[in-house]
Amino acid sequence: MTEHTARTATEADLALLRRAIELAQRCPPGTTFSVGCIIADAGGEVLATGHSREGDAHNHAEESALAKLPATGARLGGATIYSSLEPCSTRASRPTSCTRLILDAGIPRVVFAWREPNVFVDCEGAELLAAAGREVIEVPELAHLVRRMNSYLPGVEE
């Protein structure tokens, strides 16, 4: 765990994070990370799901999931976003990072498996989310599943 971890993941967190990792298998072939994402309310009910390149080659998983939520009425005040990969803090393909989208949505908890390696950008998603007062939980014991899924990328090894 990292210094950004306010507490450890619950069994419910681990189950939803595993489902997010499985969603990444739906990603069409591409030259970027294959990522899966689930947004759940405080009771664990799934509000939205997404995966990389869903609908558009430039879509990130968190972006896809957030886009499926209604602009108003979503139960995001107590929500958790589960992402197989640390939310991006910099993007070349869009002006808004996934970290910024999460902050703007008001989601207070973020659970992810694998810290983004320095393949495309130097990611600071976990640090920026924690600095903004979000609870950030990294689950490195599941990172090998995400690395394996992304081993087609240069610089990523299982």
Catalytic residue ranges:
62
* 122 CB burial (10 A radius; 0-12, 13-18, 19+): exposed
Tell which residue, 80, 75, 83, 87, has the closest CA to residue 135: 80
- Contact 26/61 with Cβ under 8 angstroms? no
Task: Give the separation between CA 40 and CA 130, rounded to whole angstroms.
Answer: 19
**121: its two tokens:** 């950008």
| Helices and strands (H, E) in the chain, number of each type | 5, 5
Q: Which residues contact 86 (CB under 8 A, 6 or more apart)?
A: 112, 114, 115, 116, 123, 125, 126, 138
